């Protein structure tokens, strides 16, 4: 076993860390092992990281649950390439002395721009018109003029705050909801905090940016969708399980909800026969909100800085 710490990237598919100058910088301090393909089974996943001191989890589909962590005696640190840590059993990691870090805030402008792009595409029926034109149909329906409309932001962390700023920039009114509102935060963000039901009733667009937790799983279900304005747009940039997809599909197919703009899903990759794909008024992207060259390098910088801080005995952005 090497005397230098071993840092493993167990799956870099699609490519993110490959060729990054930040990963090259990390090689000055550690033995870095990067796997470009997905593990074929759990045994292969464990074998890849068997002697790892640290893991860079660049893809959320690689999960680190209690039974898996118990087999990794050398492991001391995991960093995710983003904010969400739902792929890791944080309590099991803590009990085994494994620190877990994330990257808060770095890619907020990138993700927020994607959120606004999805909202604009849904409001202007971009995906619908593209599909109709490809089918040889010249059809026209009313779109949504967003200026002067109200957007409700669920979750006002870094991404939610930046999304609110962008929406204000195109002339939208902004209301927001969070578990811990404050007058000071409202002034800083230029938003009005309201109760969740009030936000749903008032908003022409609802944009979701909360982290996934037991409190937020199923946060938007049939009741909540029923409170929204007829013809409203729902955008989800958080995690798929925050929204009850069955209720969402029902609301879309009934025509009560105007459109959905989604970057995240309850099951990823999205199955080819998923009923969301048959909904007429949806704009869908495959969990790629931060996948621009700039966004990926910000994430690569973040994970390397997290690993280096851990190796220096000064861990940062620890979530457990």
> Which residues are catalytically annotated?
239, 268, 287
Residues in the chain: 320
Helix then strand then coil, in percent of the chain rounded to 5, is: 35, 15, 50
Distance CA 103, CA 84 (A): 9
The helix/strand/coil state of 45 is helix
CA 66 to chain centre: 23
Distance CA 298, CA 296 (A): 5
171-176, Cβ contacts within 8 angstroms, sequence gap of 24 or more:
171/146, 171/147, 172/146, 172/147, 172/148, 172/205, 173/148, 173/149, 174/150, 175/150, 175/151, 175/199, 175/202, 175/203, 176/152
- Backbone phi and psi for residue 24, each to the nearest 5 degrees, phi listed first: -60, -40
Q: What angle do CA 250, 86, 76 make, to 5 degrees?
A: 170
Q: What angle do CA 114, 155, 167 make, to 5 degrees?
A: 45
**Spatial contact of 63 and 88, defined as CB atoms under 8 Å apart:** yes
Distance CA 6, CA 17 (A): 16
């Amino acid at each position: 076993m090497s005397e230098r710490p071993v840092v493993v990237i167990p799956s870099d598919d699609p490519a993110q860390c490959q060729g990054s100058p930040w990963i090259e910088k990390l090689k000055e301090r550690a033995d870095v092992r990067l796997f470009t393909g997905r593990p074929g089974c759990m045994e292969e996943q464990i074998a890849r990281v068997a002697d790892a001191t640290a893991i860079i989890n660049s893809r959320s589909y690689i999960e680190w649950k209690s039974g898996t962590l118990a087999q990794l005696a050398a492991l001391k640190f995991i960093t995710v390439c983003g904010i969400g840590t739902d792929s890791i059993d944080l309590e099991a990691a803590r009990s085994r002395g494994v620190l877990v870090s994330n990257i808060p805030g770095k890619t907020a402008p990138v993700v927020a721009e994607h959120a606004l792009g999805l909202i604009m595409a849904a409001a202007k029926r971009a995906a619908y018109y593209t599909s109709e034109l490809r089918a040889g149909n010249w059809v026209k329906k009313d779109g949504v003029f967003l200026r002067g409309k109200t957007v409700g932001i669920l979750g006002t962390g870094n991404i939610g705050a930046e999304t609110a700023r962008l929406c204000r920039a195109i002339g939208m009114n902004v209301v927001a909801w969070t578990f811990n509102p404050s007058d000071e935060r409202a002034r800083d963000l230029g938003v009005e905090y309201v109760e969740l039901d009030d936000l749903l009733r008032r908003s022409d667009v609802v944009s979701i940016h909360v982290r996934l937790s037991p409190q937020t799983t199923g946060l938007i279900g049939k009741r909540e969708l029923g409170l929204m304005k007829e013809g409203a747009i729902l955008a989800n940039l958080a995690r798929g399980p925050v929204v009850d997809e069955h209720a969402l599909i029902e609301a879309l197919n009934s025509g009560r909800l105007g459109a959905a703009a989604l970057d995240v899903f309850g099951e990823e990759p999205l199955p080819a026969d998923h009923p969301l794909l048959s909904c007429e008024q949806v704009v869908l992207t495959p969990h790629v909100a931060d996948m621009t060259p700039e966004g990926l390098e910000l994430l690569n910088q973040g994970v390397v800085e997290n690993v280096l801080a851990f190796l220096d005995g000064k861990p940062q952005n620890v979530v457990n």
